[in-house]
Chains A and B, each alone.
Chain A
Amino acid sequence: MKALVTCKRVLDPYIKARINADGSAVNLDNVKMAMNPFDEIAVEEALRLKEAGSVTEVVAVSIGGPKSEETLRQALAMGADRAILVESDQDIEPLAVAKVLKAVCDEEQPGLVLMGKQAIDGDSNQAGQMLAGMLNWAQGTFISEIKIDGETANVTREIDGGLEKLSLKLPAVVTADLRLNEPRYASLPNIMKAKKKPLDKKPLADMGIDTAKRIEIVGLSEPAERQAGVMVDSVAALVEKLKTEAKVI
C-alpha cells in the first residue's frame, strides 16, 4: 500500500510571528521556515507504518513555491521514498488544497493519506476533512494511534473528554494530532541521500483546478501586550492593590 503524506512549509513555530506594518499578513521575509509540525508527525507515522510492513511506499507532497522543495527534502531525509511539489506562488485556501490533493490522489492511488490535523499558520483544520469528502473515503481526524489490519485502519482519536476508537475502511484520510509520535531527526547521511531521491514538480496552473480566493483577510492584529508586573513591598500593600486596583478581593 502506498501512503501519501502532506508537508506544508510554514513559519517555524518557535519564531515569534510579526505582522507586516500594514496589518495585511504575517511577515515571512527572511524568517526561519519549517515543516508544519503536525505534518512532520504525519511523515514520521507513515515511515513507522512502512517499517512495520503495512506500507510499501511513502510519497511526500507539498503545495508551494520553490522553497517548499526544502521541506520535501526534509521528508525525504527522514525516509520518504519520493516527493511531489505542486508549484504555486500563492498561498491557497483549504478548499483549493483539498482539490489539488484530490487530483494527486486520483493519479497516485494511495491506500492512505496522512496529513497534519492542521497547519500552524492558518489553523484552518479543514483540508483533510474536505479531501475525504471529495474522495468519498473514510476519515479519521486528530488521531493519536493508528494500526493497519488488512483492509482496515484502526485509529484512536483525541476528542474532548476522552479517546474515540474507530475502524476505517481503506483507503482513508487520517490527520495526525500531537501525541501520535515524536518525529525522528534527519541524519546527515540521509540528508545527502535525499538530495538524489526523485522529486517531481507539477505547476498548479497546469492542473486545471479553480483555486480562486474565496476568503478575504480583512486585517491581522497582535495579541494585547501584557502589562509589566510590579513588586510590592509588603503583604499589606499586595492586599491593598488586589482590593483597589485589581478589584479581585
Chain B
Amino acid sequence: MTSAIQQLLANLPPAIQVTDPDVLATYLTDFRHKYTGCTAAVLKPRTTDEVVNIVRACNAHNVPLVPQGGNTGYCAGATPDDSGDQIVISLERLNQIRHFDPDNRSITVEAGMVLSDIQDHCENHGLLCPLALGSQQSCQIGGNISTNAGGVNVVRYGMSREMVLGLEVVLADGSVLDTLSPLRKDNTGYAVDQLFIGAEGSLGIITAATLKLQSLPKQRFTGFLAVASRQCLPKLLSDIQAETGDLVSSFEYMAADAIQHLLNKKPEHRLPVSSGHRHYVLIELGTSASKLPLTDLAEAALAEQIEANIVLDAAVASNEAQRAAFWAIRESIPEGEVLNGASVKHDVAVSVSNLPSFIDQAAGIVTSTGPGCRLSIYGHVGDGNVHFNVLCPEGSNEIDHTWIEVNLSPHIYELAAKMHGTFSAEHGIGQVKLALNAQYGNAKKQALMRDIKRALDPNNLMNPGKMLPLG
C-alpha cells in the first residue's frame, strides 16, 4: 500500500472501508472477466456527505478514484488499473428512495439503488420506471446513468439520458452539484447535468438522480415471430407501429444462430414457433389503457404481415409464464455465447434503415475472412443497434478471440464507420474501447471532451484512463 493511500484511509471512518482481500476481489474484475485491477480498499459511503469527504481526502492525498455500481458493465469502466494506486468507491450503500412524487411522475433515488428495486417500487404505486435491461437485478441506477444505459425499451422510452430530470453529483473538488429538479422545463443555461450522463464517472460521482416515470402498462401483447428476411425488419416495425398507434415497447431481432447456440447447450428453452427459419423477432406492445383492444390491434397488424409473407410464423404469449419464457430466450442469448466459448462483441448502431444491409455485409466479412467463425447476431431493431458477436470456430486452435479482434473487428468497425454508424451504441468506452475511440471517434468531439475534463477534473482524479486516454 502506498503511503498516500495509507494516509487517505487513516483519515476516513473505518466503517466505510473494506480491505478483506476476498471481498475486494469481487470489485476488481470486470463483468466479462477480461480485466482485473488492484486496490488497497473499497470505500462504501452511506451518504453524500461521506462521498464528499472521500473526494476531498483523495484530493488532499492525490489518490485517483474509480466509482463502481453493480459492476455489470461491458467495457471495464468500473475496474481500477493494476497499479494499486487507485481506490474503488462503491455506491451500493447509498440505496434509499429520497422522494417519490406520483403526481409529478418522478422519483428521486440514490445512486446505489438496484434498478429492479426502483422498478418494483414504481410498479407497486401504479407507475413504470421504463429503463429495463438484462442485468436489472444487480445493476445500480448510478451506473446506469453514468453509462447512459439503453436496454430493451429504448424504442418506446429512450435511453437513460431521456429519463433523468436532475442529478446530484459530487464534483472532483468535493463540492456538490445539486440539480435534483422535479422540473421538465428549466431553460436556465447549459444542460450541465447532461454532461455527467454517460461520462462513466470521469467528471464526478453521481450520488442521486430524479427520474421521469411513465404510466404502468395494464395490458401487454408479447409475440415471438419468425420473419422472412432481415431486409423486411425496418418496415415490419414501422408498419406495426403505425397500425397500433406507436405501442411497441420492444422489437428484438434474433438471428437463428444466436438462438441455436443457446438451445444446443440449454435445451430446456423451447422455441415458441416452428424451427427452420433464419430470423426471429420478439415483439412486445403495452398500454396503460385497460379498455383499448390491444390484443385485437396487435393480432390484426400481425395477421396482415402473415398474409404478406413477411411474418412466416408467430406465437402469442397467452399468459405471463409464456411471456417470461419468450423473454428468457432473448435474455439468455449472452449466456448461450458464454456456454459456447464466449464471443467477441461488437455493439454497433447504424440508422434503422441501414441495419439489415450492415448485418449482411458484416456477416459477409466474417464468412470470407474468418473461416468457421460462428455468428451470434441479435439486437434492438428500433434503435438500429445490433450486437454483432463473433464466436471462434468450434474446436479451433488457430482462431481465438485475439485473432478475431485483430483480423475481423477492424473490418466490422470500418464498415460501421462507412455507414455513419458507431462502434459503441450502448456499452460505452470504459477502457475496452479507448483505442477504437481514438480511431473511429469524432476528433473534434474528443478535443472538446478533453477540455471539459480538464475544466472539471484538473487533477485527473475521477476515474482516470476511462473514456479518455491518460495524458
Contact = CB atoms under 8 A, between A and B. Distances in A.
A191 B316 contact: yes
Contacts of B263: none
User: Interface size bucket, A side?
Assistant: 10 to 19
A12 B302 CA distance: 24
A30 B318 contact: no
Contact of A13 (B219, B223, B302, B321): B321
A161 B182 CA distance: 60
Contact of A32 (B224, B273, B311, B320): B320
Contacts of B315: 185-188
B272 interface: yes
B314 A14 contact: no
Contact of B318 (A13, A35, A182): A35
Nearest to B295: A70
Contact of B272 (A74, A77, A185, A191): A185
Contacts of A187: 273, 313-316
Nearest to B225: A188
Contacts of B314: 187-189
Interface in B85-112: none
Contact of A192 (B218, B224, B299, B324): B299
Interface string B243-278: 000000000000000000000000000101100000
Contacts of B224: 185
Contacts of A77: 318
Contacts of A192: 299, 303
Given A30-B218, A30-B290, A185 B322 contact: yes
A9 to B, nearest CB: 11
Nearest to A16: B124
A15 interface: yes
A34 interface: yes
B324 A14 contact: yes
B273 A74 contact: no
Nearest to A32: B320
Interface in B299-319: 299, 302-303, 306, 311, 313-319
Given A188-B223, A188-B306, A192-B303, A34 B320 contact: yes
Contacts of A191: 299, 316
A14 B223 contact: no
Contacts of A13: 319-321
Given A14-B324, A30-B290, A182-B270, A188 B318 contact: no
A42 B182 CA distance: 52
B218 A35 contact: no
A156 B323 CA distance: 30
Contact of A185 (B302, B311, B316): B316
Given A187-B313, A188-B299, A35 B322 contact: no
A171 interface: no
Contacts of A182: 270
Most buried by B among A34, A74, A77: A34
A110 interface: no
Interface in B311-360: 311, 313-324
A116 interface: no
Interface string B432-445: 00000000000000
Contacts of B316: 185-188, 191
A14 B320 contact: yes
B306 A14 contact: no
A79 to B, nearest CB: 13
B307 to A, nearest CB: 10
A244 B303 CA distance: 65
Nearest to A33: B319
Contacts of B270: 182
Interface in A171-188: 182, 185-188
A192 B316 CA distance: 11
A227 B426 CA distance: 38
Counting from the closest, the 6 A-B pairs by CB-CB distance are A14-B320, A34-B319, A188-B314, A185-B315, A185-B272, A12-B320
Interface of B: 218-219, 223-224, 270, 272-273, 290, 299, 302-303, 306, 311, 313-324
Given A32-B319, A186-B318, A187-B313, 8 more contacts: A12-B320, A14-B319, A30-B290, A32-B219, A185-B273, A187-B314, A188-B223, A192-B299
Interface of A: 12-15, 30, 32, 34-35, 37, 74, 77, 182, 185-189, 191-192
22 contacts: A14-B324, A30-B290, A32-B319, A34-B319, A35-B319, A182-B270, A185-B272, A185-B273, A185-B315, A185-B316, A185-B317, A185-B322, A186-B316, A186-B318, A187-B313, A187-B316, A188-B223, A188-B299, A188-B311, A188-B316, A189-B313, A189-B314
